[in-house]
Chains A and B, each alone.
Chain A
């Protein structure tokens, strides 16, 4: 689907590492080049035409993001460098000011490091308690298991919308309902979900959402921090400086700008944000439902074939996303990845930044295929063909 738009797909590679980063269509690349070629100026300086155009394009992306996730106000969209920065801002800029000792922060063992370490730090600094929502037999989060662990001291539930190893879609809407009934905030790490699944922050009633442009056809170095307006108002800027202050005379008289500018100090990643807008337009043109359907079709297609290979263990047989984690029995995942690399197949081996998951699954690392809509049945056939001959893998892995 749409393969002709992706220059990287002309390079005789099979790209199955979309969970790490997606490929970029030529429209996004052209849009960024256009900024550098035709109106390369700073933002927030509308005194001359090209800077005014920068503002228009930059803010246009904010409108596109706002609509894409169905936020209520465009002020709720803050541009950051990526999911990691967004999550750190939420933990250190918002929650650091309201948590108390013994407050509980609920996460799971299958979270990405970016949705673990900021909470570890917060807990350590303020005496909070990290609790793990137990995963079921399929490594999924269920509402029942969330119910089991919440207590009157629970303050934050921080979960990925879709996890990057197991690929399960979390029942976020049900969780936020339960959480809000118990005065618990819900933070969603959308890095793996927003690029693949229609996200409606109002319907899900999420308090904070973080995601990255580069996993959804956009450039690296751009991400989004979404927060409900009344919460974002309370988020203390970590970075102070140019662009975010209204005026200052001395240390006691510093006035900051309104949202969202207040949280975007310094010259932003202008070309990145503008390119990101183009990526969203591209996704909208295809349609998120169609993208998800396509990925589910490809997943089934892959699973159906992989399952027939007796020496392949699929770790996440049940998942509603394009992530398939597996191992070749008796062969270290990285050796298999090196073998596949010889045939120009790009996929990931490792623990996928979910380093505490191994304590639960006993599987310390795996291969991971993460699909996007531009992958094809033919690519999957090539992969499966290369995995059917164990002797060949052992022979060619070194």
Chain B
């Protein structure tokens, strides 16, 4: 993916993020996620049925990297199983940390594959995943 394409993907998801709404629907698990080193702060709402992620929506205040990363995450994970989501998160994290990862899984999220060079923005890109992971753990605990 060339740098210009990466930029376009990020800006498109930042300008028109997928599912940026709040919900009061009790069928959604809600988590708040934030970084101690910056002001990004997101609420992520997750709806799972029979181990399948039916929907994710979000709202909050965050930078372009965080918002776009959330939008891409949502695009890629709706319809996936809980285990697939965990696997996706692990691969995304590996990419940010310059470790080996499965490129075929991440799709548009590959636009952050150079982010390791800006370590202060890694936490921005990972922020929604941190929240989602917490929500998934919560779901699993509830059985």
**Chain A contacts to B: CB under 8 angstroms:** 332-335, 338, 341, 349-351, 364-365, 394-395, 397-398
Specify which chain A residues have a CB less than 8 angstroms from the CB of B65 in the assembled complex. 398
Q: Which one of B10, B39, B62, B118 lies within 8 Å of A350 (CB-CB)?
A: B39
Interface string of B45-65 (1 = CB under 8 A from A): 000000000000000011111
Specify which chain A residues have a CB less than 8 angstroms from the CB of B7 in the assembled complex. 395, 398
Q: Which one of A334, A394, A397, A398 lies within 8 Å of B40 (CB-CB)?
A: A334
Specify which chain A residues have a CB less than 8 angstroms from the CB of B78 in the assembled complex. none
Interface hub of B10, B39, B40, B61 (most chain A Cβ within 10 A): B39
Specify which chain A residues have a CB less than 8 angstroms from the CB of B68 in the assembled complex. 398
Given known contacts A351-B39, A395-B7, what 15 new A-B pairs fall within 8 Å (CB)?
A332-B61, A332-B63, A332-B64, A334-B63, A335-B63, A338-B63, A338-B118, A338-B120, A350-B38, A364-B61, A365-B61, A394-B11, A398-B11, A398-B14, A398-B65
Within 8 A of A (CB), among B67-98: 68
How many Å lie between the Cα of A364 and that of B14 in the bound state? 19
Specify which chain A residues have a CB less than 8 angstroms from the CB of B63 in the assembled complex. 332, 334-335, 338
With an 8 A cutoff between CB atoms, is B122 at the interface? Answer: no
With an 8 A cutoff between CB atoms, is B121 at the interface? Answer: yes
A338 touches B39 (CB 8 A): no
Given contacts A365-B61, A398-B64, A398-B65, A334 and B39 within 8 Å (CB-CB) = yes
B10 touches A398 (CB 8 A): yes
How many Å lie between the Cα of A335 and that of B63 in the bound state? 6
Within 8 A of A (CB), among B12-55: 14, 38-40
- Nearest 5 pairs of A and B residues by beta carbon: A334-B63, A350-B39, A335-B63, A335-B64, A332-B63
**Residue on B with the closest CB to A351?**
B39
List, sorted by A's number, 19 A–B pairs whose CB atoms are closer than 8 Å: A332-B61, A334-B38, A334-B39, A335-B64, A338-B118, A338-B121, A349-B39, A350-B38, A350-B39, A351-B39, A364-B61, A365-B39, A365-B61, A395-B7, A397-B64, A398-B7, A398-B10, A398-B11, A398-B14
How many Å lie between the Cα of A395 and that of B121 in the bound state? 16
With both chains docked as a complex, state the minimum distance between the C-beta of A344 and any C-beta of chain B, in angstroms.
14
How many Å lie between the Cα of A349 and that of B62 in the bound state? 12
Specify which chain A residues have a CB less than 8 angstroms from the CB of B39 in the assembled complex. 333-334, 349-351, 365
How many Å lie between the Cα of A364 and that of B62 in the bound state? 11
How many Å lie between the Cα of A8 and that of B61 in the bound state? 33
With both chains docked as a complex, state the minimum distance between the C-beta of A266 and any C-beta of chain B, in angstroms.
28
**Residue on B with the closest CB to A394?**
B11
How many Å lie between the Cα of A349 and that of B40 in the bound state? 11
How many Å lie between the Cα of A398 and that of B61 in the bound state? 16
Specify which chain B residues have a CB less than 8 angstroms from the CB of A365 in the assembled complex. 39, 61
With both chains docked as a complex, state the minimum distance between the C-beta of A179 and any C-beta of chain B, in angstroms.
34
**Residue on B with the closest CB to A395?**
B7
Specify which chain A residues have a CB less than 8 angstroms from the CB of B40 in the assembled complex. 334
Specify which chain B residues have a CB less than 8 angstroms from the CB of A397 in the assembled complex. 64
How many Å lie between the Cα of A334 and that of B118 in the bound state? 14
How many Å lie between the Cα of A43 and that of B86 in the bound state? 56
Specify which chain A residues have a CB less than 8 angstroms from the CB of B10 in the assembled complex. 398
How many Å lie between the Cα of A332 and that of B64 in the bound state? 8
With both chains docked as a complex, state the minimum distance between the C-beta of B130 and any C-beta of chain A, in angstroms.
17
How many Å lie between the Cα of A349 and that of B37 in the bound state? 11
Interface hub of A332, A349, A351, A365 (most chain B Cβ within 10 A): A332
Interface hub of A364, A395, A397 (most chain B Cβ within 10 A): A397
With both chains docked as a complex, state the minimum distance between the C-beta of B48 and any C-beta of chain A, in angstroms.
30
How many Å lie between the Cα of A341 and that of B63 in the bound state? 15
How many Å lie between the Cα of A333 and that of B41 in the bound state? 13
**Residue on A with the closest CB to B68?**
A398
Specify which chain B residues have a CB less than 8 angstroms from the CB of A333 in the assembled complex. 39
Specify which chain A residues have a CB less than 8 angstroms from the CB of B62 in the assembled complex. 332, 334
How many Å lie between the Cα of A351 and that of B61 in the bound state? 12
Specify which chain A residues have a CB less than 8 angstroms from the CB of B120 in the assembled complex. 338, 341
**Residue on A with the closest CB to B124?**
A334
With both chains docked as a complex, state the minimum distance between the C-beta of B11 and any C-beta of chain A, in angstroms.
7
How many Å lie between the Cα of A334 and that of B14 in the bound state? 14
With both chains docked as a complex, state the minimum distance between the C-beta of B112 and any C-beta of chain A, in angstroms.
10
How many Å lie between the Cα of A49 and that of B121 in the bound state? 52
Specify which chain B residues have a CB less than 8 angstroms from the CB of A335 in the assembled complex. 63-64
With both chains docked as a complex, state the minimum distance between the C-beta of A338 and any C-beta of chain B, in angstroms.
7
With both chains docked as a complex, state the minimum distance between the C-beta of B109 and any C-beta of chain A, in angstroms.
14
With both chains docked as a complex, state the minimum distance between the C-beta of B13 and any C-beta of chain A, in angstroms.
11
With both chains docked as a complex, state the minimum distance between the C-beta of B78 and any C-beta of chain A, in angstroms.
24
Specify which chain A residues have a CB less than 8 angstroms from the CB of B64 in the assembled complex. 332, 335, 397-398
With both chains docked as a complex, state the minimum distance between the C-beta of A204 and any C-beta of chain B, in angstroms.
34
Specify which chain A residues have a CB less than 8 angstroms from the CB of B61 in the assembled complex. 332, 364-365
**Residue on B with the closest CB to A342?**
B118
